[in-house]
Homo-oligomer: A and B are copies of this chain.
């Protein structure tokens, strides 16, 4: 099943069901007004949404319309939790190596995770509006899951049962603010502005064989200013699976329905696969040449993040955004 949220002037938008080929959609009228509502009562609501989905795929939608990701908010325009892991430890190791910092061995078996802001997500084709492009604006292409209620202390063998949906994320980062912020010891805050999500959230079954061991075994494509800069396989070099990330999150607390958990920047050890964030490219340059050449994003830059299935069809639709100067009122 594929779901999205239409801009309708409200804070949470209007839940719509989107056909598998992303060509048509239908309002989830009378079933659930918002995606959060659907997640709050999933076992009752999901089967009804699935019926709409099946009819839509057969071309028998009722009052269906052309699906246009420009009219979409993030699937969850605001959420009660957004926690981002750092599962591709290769990425962490590279970035550290570039600044001559050794990576603790524990990073290979104890996930890094930070709590992000979740009150103001950006739609898939909406601008990334910031006050300055001196902050070192970077994209981070990731995959995220959305969970049901998960009890504290959940075991890893049960954690995967709580995954309801998957999305793509652009976890926008302000690299030049990170060193001073992390030095304070409280983690990321100002260096992690609002994140953006793919037009469509999908149930795991949509991935078929590509969903295995709690990982997505397909390349994630990042295109920066019309250049394909990365296509690492998200199933390769992912040290912590999504069930492991859920277990980490729930060690000391429950997670409630609609919790979003990110994979961290997708990164393969094979350098031919390119990069999913500029910081990694710069780290490779530092290691090779002693200096980073590639600059961070400037106002006017564009970023496109997408995942294609084996037949070259877009699964989630594309995150496709420009970085612009924030217009003060």
Contact = CB atoms under 8 A, between A and B. Distances in A.
Interface stretch (A46-54, A79-87, A215-223, A302-310): A79-87
Interface string A85-123: 010000000000000000010110010111111111000
Given A40-B11, A79-B80, A151-B329, A253 B117 contact: yes
A117 B113 CA distance: 12
A13 to B, nearest CB: 13
Interface residues of A, number: 56
A249 B181 CA distance: 13
Interface in A178-203: 182-191, 193-194
B135 A177 contact: no
A259 B78 CA distance: 11
A81 B153 contact: no
A272 interface: no
B115 A114 contact: yes
A60 interface: no
A45 interface: no
Interface string A252-269: 111111110000000000
Contact of A328 (B153, B184, B328): B153
Given A131-B252, A190-B252, A326-B153, A115 B112 contact: no
A282 interface: no
A130 interface: yes
Contact of A185 (B81, B187, B252, B254): B187
B118 A131 contact: no
A23 interface: no
Contacts of A188: 115, 186-187
A78 B83 CA distance: 15
Please tell me how many copies of the chain the complex holds.
2
A31 interface: no
B190 A80 contact: no
A70 interface: no
A249 to B, nearest CB: 8
Interface string A157-195: 000000000000000001001000011111111110110
A195 to B, nearest CB: 10
A251 interface: yes
Contacts of A210: none
Contacts of A20: none
Interface of A: 11, 40, 78-81, 83, 86, 104, 106-107, 110, 112-120, 129-131, 135, 151-153, 174, 177, 182-191, 193-194, 248-249, 251-259, 326, 328-329
